Amino acid sequence: MKIFFPFKYLFIILFFSLSTFKVSAQSDNPAIATLLKVEGAVKVFNEISPQGSHGRHGMLLFTGNKILTSDKSKTTIEYRDGSRVRLFENSTIVLDLSEEQSTNKRTFKFQLALKGGSLRGFFVKGHQRTKIRTPTADIGIKGSSVRISENNNEATVSLTEGQVEVSNLNSRITLKPGQWLTRFDRNTDLTQNVENIPNLLYLKTAEYELDFRNEESIQLNLSVQLQNRISRKSLKRNGLVIFESDYKSIRLPKPFKLNERGFARVLIGIYPPSLKNPEFKGLITIRAFMDGKGFDDVAEGHLVLKILNLGQNRTLLIDPNEGVSKKQN
């Protein structure tokens, strides 16, 4: 006797079979990153969803995933070591590789392909080796804050912190912090195209040394100004700014917009450091970057604060203009 299954039951069986395959495939291919701070229409493509699925905050990402942002859309890709890529509007990136290295310390090797558009990358110093490929260039990154744009077979790379090696069909060069390569193609002589980044997000506060002996939090008023790096003249240019810090006990402002004069004032809250963290050396670093495309000509803001009375034998001189510290005996 023949047994006939209604079509709807056959569909249910097929659905659960595909779901089981999806779970199995992801378990064999562990997540390498997480999608965060999704704004607007962001799509994620993979073998299971070749038509793409809507990106959402907290979504796990895997090797081979392609992330696409549309107009007025942005998102952040965060790797397991804390390295982050901020993908701006109208951009496409592919996560080619992420693997943990067999070393004494936990380190990672990342490979990404920026097909088009722009990004800002912050890669944790000493914990990873990263290569970003574009149609124009190969970019090797070591512990850096870097911005990369790729449009119409022309690329721009600007470096605020760390080290970046850029190569095309013609040449190879290592950028120093504060330098950029602007609008070069596959055949440009990169050695003749290096310039200093012309502009800067300047951060300033009245206090650079913090005392937590009363165990109370401290609120700081910070001014943020978009300036020309040489003349220090303000630039009448607005845009969104994001603050970030490696210090955990801090309350940073949400993304905010500079006014028509390229200026803003913001408040940050800093809490006493945890005594359970022996690796903390008493320095708090705060970074600020322009959150959008078209700002490759703006170096990131960089502010260093020192916490007093931590029992350190050395002192540090903080230069608020350059955001650097020097040892003093």
Read out DSSP for 175-208? EPTTEEEEEE-TT--GGGSEEE--EEEEEEES-S
What's the pLDDT band for 127 if we cut at 50, 70, 90?
low
Domain boundaries, the chain: 31-196, 199-328
Output the pLDDT for position 309.
78
Output the pLDDT for position 274.
79
pLDDT at residue 179 is higher than 60: yes
What's the pLDDT band for 14 if we cut at 50, 70, 90?
very low
Look up the pTM and report it. 0.83
Output the pLDDT for position 28.
63
pLDDT at residue 3 is higher than 60: no
Token pair belonging to 39: 């704004």
Q: Kindly state the average pLDDT of the residues 10-34.
A: 55
Which of 11-20, 217-226, 302-311 has the largest mean confidence?
A: 217-226
Other CB atoms within a 10 A radius of the CB of residue 147 amount to 26
More confident call, 50 vs 191: 191
Q: How far apart are CA 110 and CA 112, in angstroms?
A: 7
Quick one: fold of 199-328? Immunoglobulin-like (2.60.40)
Q: How far apart are CA 240 and CA 259, in angstroms?
A: 10
Percent of the chain surpassing pLDDT 70: 82
Contact 110, 81 (CB under 8 A): no
Output the pLDDT for position 264.
98
Output the pLDDT for position 319.
52
More confident call, 279 vs 328: 279
Output the pLDDT for position 103.
55
What does CATH list as the number for 31-196?
A: 2.60.120.1440
Q: Kindly state the average pLDDT of the residues 15-21.
A: 43
At residue 282, the 3 state secondary structure works out as: coil
Residue-wise pLDDT tens digits, 131-160: 999 999 999 998 889 999 999 999 999 999
Read out DSSP for 247-272? -SSEEPPPPEE--TTSEEEEEEEE-P
Percent of the chain surpassing pLDDT 90: 69
More confident call, 177 vs 316: 177
Averaged pLDDT score across all residues of the chain: 86
Residue 68 exposure: Cα atoms within 13 Å on the Cβ side? 12
Output the pLDDT for position 48.
80
Instruction: Assess whether the region 31-196 and the region 199-328 belong to the same CATH fold.
Output: no
What's the pLDDT band for 87 if we cut at 50, 70, 90?
very high
Measuring CA to CA, which residue among 96, 55, 50, 97 is closest to residue 76?
Answer: 55
Output the pLDDT for position 92.
98
Measuring CA to CA, which residue among 324, 313, 222, 308 is closest to residue 273?
Answer: 308
Output the pLDDT for position 313.
41
pLDDT at residue 18 is higher than 90: no
Token pair belonging to 9: 């039951």
Measuring CA to CA, which residue among 35, 57, 37, 42 is closest to residue 242?
Answer: 37
DSSP label at 234? B
Q: How far apart are CA 56 and CA 115, in angstroms?
A: 21
pLDDT at residue 108 is higher than 80: no
Give the residue carrying structure tokens 């003749």.
192
